[in-house]
Structure 1
């Protein structure tokens, strides 16, 4: 197997594990700091410090000329993350981590199908065929069964 593909698969799996850890961790933080919004703020502050340390360690620097050419919506990724973190901190204690993530995964897959279909943000277009819909349906059915 291609080492880059293997690295991407392992990284995706670990990222998924971290998403599952994020909801209960931020719910605990929300209880301590008084609200889901405060928890998201603290979470993003810690994440910013961690990313700054990694960027400094690897010598990653933004390229000013390229930054100015980006469309406005290229800057909105952090907003999506902030909504997810705050919602996870608020909803996970009410729904349970599994139910919250099941519903979040349903939203992710629905949006992913749409984004693939239109080739959003310069990514290649991927048609929504019956097998893709069946695959998404099976993932959702599995998530539902885990909740039962």
Structure 2
């Protein structure tokens, strides 16, 4: 079963360079990385609206959820999504698709290790170890190699 999840993750990951390339081109066509992000999020919102209505058959949730969850749960993902998407739009023309993806992936891995190590955001702790260190060092070396050659 874990192999199926790993394969699913790899397939999902293929969408990132495609999305980055498409949104970067859109940014050039509309003359603004922010407008490109807005269009992308608007279309994404419409898609999620259709999916939510089709699958969940509702658009509501318990109002008590506002009281029991911290403020950052409600806005953090959206703000960080804008930062990530818009950064990719700005980086792709300067770095190319491959270096943009591997650089942001390296940043994701470093932050993910910190989240796992310290249990931030309620995530179960997964301790940092030598194999993880070697993996991150290899990723950083990959970024350097891709930039140089």
Q: Same fold (TM over 0.5)?
A: yes
Distance 1:10 1:55, change over 3 A: farther
> TM-score normalized by structure 2?
0.87
72 and 7 in structure 1: CA distance in 2 versus 1, 3 angstrom threshold: farther
Structure 2 segments unaligned to the other structure (5+ residues): none
Q: Could you tell me which residue of structure 2 aligns to residue 74 of structure 1?
A: 73
TM-fit CA distance, 1:73: 1.2
Of residues 114-123 and 59-68 in structure 1, the stretch that sits farther from structure 2 once superposed is: 59-68
Which structure 1 segments of 5+ residues have no match? none
Higher RCO (C-alpha under 8 Å, 6+ residues apart)? 1
Task: Show CA shifts across 1:40-82 (max 9, x none).
Answer: 0000001001111111110254421452222111121011111
SS at match of 1:64: coil
Alpha-carbon RMSD across the aligned residues, in angstroms, is 1.8
Matched positions, count: 145
- TM-score w.r.t. length of structure 1: 0.88
Alignment check: 8 A CA contact 1:102 1:140 kept? no
